Amino acid sequence: MKKAKKKVKGMTLIEMIITIMIFSLMCGILVMIGTHIDSVTRSTNTIKDKMVKQSPYAANGNTSYIGTDSMSHDFPTSDMDITLSWDGSWSDGSSPAPGFDIEFEAKRFMTQDVVLDGRTEKSKEYITNGPNAGINLDFISSIKNKAGGEEVDEKAHVEDAQAAAAAAATSTTSAAPIVTTVTTVATT
């Protein structure tokens, strides 16, 4: 009796080459996705780090910080001109007062130095030139009215605006002025 030979069929060379090409293509796509995810994560962490380090200074109006060298450093400043315009109308369109413009001079404090303090040169380069490089939490202080030159107390003006809004809300007219608080994230 003859033994029947089983014909064992393996992969041909063409099938093997196609399989290797498919796996190579999938690996290339995964590497590109991983690189993109790493880039997005790094830029997100940079912006988070900026906000965590800069926001206490901006919120409290601190004009200096203690660096890693245990010395006090002043934030760089720039002068700004601000014009506030009001058309004199309430939210319902009524006009109890004429419009006006007020011009102010202000000092802008740039808080990016607190983020760069104590970093390596490579890290500083990435923060200043990488993604989200232009987003910094700067703050404005030392506001002076251009017309009179007097120093403006920011807190008193906010309290005056809130009191005016409360008075208008309780007055005989039903329309109240819109009072807005603006927080600015400065881009350079």
- Contact, 152 vs 143, CB < 8 A? yes
d(Cα 154, Cα 61) in Å, to the nearest integer? 11
The mean pLDDT of 148-166, rounded to a whole number, is 52
Buried b (16+ CB within 10 A) or exposed e, 25-58: eeeeeeeeeeeeeeeeeeeeebbeebeebbeebb
Q: In angstroms, how far is the first alpha carbon of the chain from the final one? A: 91
pLDDT band at 99; cut points 50, 70, 90: low
Residue 17 has pLDDT above 90, yes or no: yes
**pLDDT single digits (tens) 120-153:** 899 888 888 888 777 877 777 767 776 655 555 5
The mean pLDDT of 174-188, rounded to a whole number, is 38
Q: Is the pTM of this model over 0.85?
A: no
Residue 27 has pLDDT above 90, yes or no: yes
d(Cα 105, Cα 107) in Å, to the nearest integer? 7
**Distinct helix (H) and strand (E) counts, the chain:** 4, 7
The mean pLDDT of 173-188, rounded to a whole number, is 38
**pLDDT single digits (tens) 61-79:** 788 888 888 888 888 888 8
Tokens, residue 8: 């064992």
Amino acid identity of residue 55, one-letter, is S
Task: Tally the C-alpha atoms within 13 A of residue 161's C-alpha that lie toward its C-beta.
Answer: 11
Beta bridge partners of 105: 81, 144
| Of 30-34, 147-151, 176-180, minimum mean pLDDT range | 176-180
